[in-house]
Structure 1
Amino acid sequence: MNAAHESYENQNARFWIENGILFFQYKPNTTIDLEVAMRVVADRIALQNERPLPVFCDIRGIASIDKAARDYLAKSGSLLAKAVALIGSENVSITMSTFYVEISKPSVPTRIFTIEQEALDYLKSFL
């Protein structure tokens, strides 16, 4: 991983840091199980290099996510995140996100958005 560029990509997602916000984008048709969840969290934490940051998480590429992955992301997925803005578009990702926020109860402030600028405005309050 090259920290100078402050970006990274694995088979499931792309990550980059811009203006103090970590952007996290799942690739199209990603299926998330526990193994994938653990990999993306480990890669995100490595990129952050122990710096707590607000996280802009684009979940529009997620095709499905299982309970083990949801539970893992709600706990370990919040490490080094000051706050999380989930960006969804289709009803499916909004439904998944609502379920995640209300049932899995992530350990940092987490909100769901469909408009990217609103999500960025929310995260800027955590800078």
Structure 2
Amino acid sequence: MQEESEYATMWVSEGILFFTFKPIAELDLKKAELLVASRFKFQNNTPYPVLCNIHNLKVVSEEAAEYLGREGGTLIPAISVLCTLYYHRILAEIFLKFHHPGKPTQIFNNNQQALDFLQKYK
């Protein structure tokens, strides 16, 4: 099963939800709320560990980061943040430092390592 929204692509494979942001110039609060709502609908109250690919993100507003840190982790037992560029790694580290989602979260630049981390949370 796969879901396309205006801001992300989501699919589930082998018990893991893959979440890839589409190109977004600025992720603001309204877009963050729409993203989380579309994920809730897609998950249909089923918790999944998430591999979140942020390679298309450019700027995340403070309000959006705060919302994602609070509400964005609902129905997610663990998160792997996949980022291959240094800029995205810094973006992810800042998010974790100031808006930690309150569940096991790791940053990876390797897809297999990101998946390996999530295996114990399925």
**Which of the five TM-score ranges fits, normalised by the shorter chain?**
over 0.9
Q: RMSD of the alignment, in Å?
A: 0.9
What residue in structure 2 maps to residue 117 of structure 1?
112
1:68 correspondence with 2:63: yes
Aligned counterpart in structure 1 of residue 76 of structure 2, from 52, 76, 81: 81
How much has 1:25 moved relative to structure 2?
0.2
The whole-number CA distance in structure 1 between the counterparts of 2:7 and 2:100 is 23
CA drift at 1:90: 1.2
Is the 1:74–1:104 contact (alpha carbons within 8 Å) kept by the matching residues of 2?
A: yes
Matches of 1:116 and 1:11 in 2, distance apart? 24
SS in 2 for 1:122: helix
Is 1:46 matched up with 2:46? no
User: How much identity, in percent, do the aligned residues show?
Assistant: 32
Find out whether 1:17 has 2:12 as its counterpart.
yes
Map Cα deviations across residues 16-39 of structure 1 (whole Å, 9 max, x no partner): 111100000011344200011001
- Partner AA of 2:31 in structure 1: V
Native 8 Å contact 2:49 2:121 kept in 1? yes
Any idea what the Cα deviations from partners look like across 1:43-72, whole Å, max 9, x if unmatched?
111111101110010001101101000000
Secondary structure of 1:63's match? strand
Shift of 1:11: 1.4
Distance of 1:29 and 1:113 partners within structure 2 = 21
Equivalent pairs, count: 122
Partner of 1:3: none
Check conservation: 2:82, 2:111, Cα contact below 8 A.
Answer: yes
AA aligned opposite 1:79: T
Q: How far apart, in 2, do the equivalents of 1:55 and 1:30 lie? A: 23
> 2:46 corresponds to which letter in structure 1?
R
How far 1:85 moved relative to its partner? 0.4
- Structure 2 unaligned spans of 5+: none
